[in-house]
Amino acid sequence: MNASVLLEVATDSPLGARAAEAAGASRIELCAGLCTGGLTPSLGTIERTLAATRLPVMVLLRPRAGDFLYD
């Protein structure tokens, strides 16, 4: 069996995305507010990160800190 490992690295900046790519990451999870568990990044951060790396960028959609229960 030929199994491959997908390495997704969470980062909050284009610089972090470039470092993850250089270290062998497979894709990026782009967040803001990592110290709160991650929030949706700004459009500017998304655009700069897409320009900074060739890796696929998965954007975290989370409007606020706390749990994932929304009304």
pLDDT computed for residue 64 by the predictor: 84
Whole-model pTM: value is 0.85
**Quick check: 63 pLDDT over 90?**
no
**Quick check: 2 pLDDT over 70?**
no
More confident residue, 22 or 62: 22
Q: What is the CA radius of gyration of the chain?
A: 13
* Sheet architecture: strand order including 8-11: 8-11, 27-30, 57-59
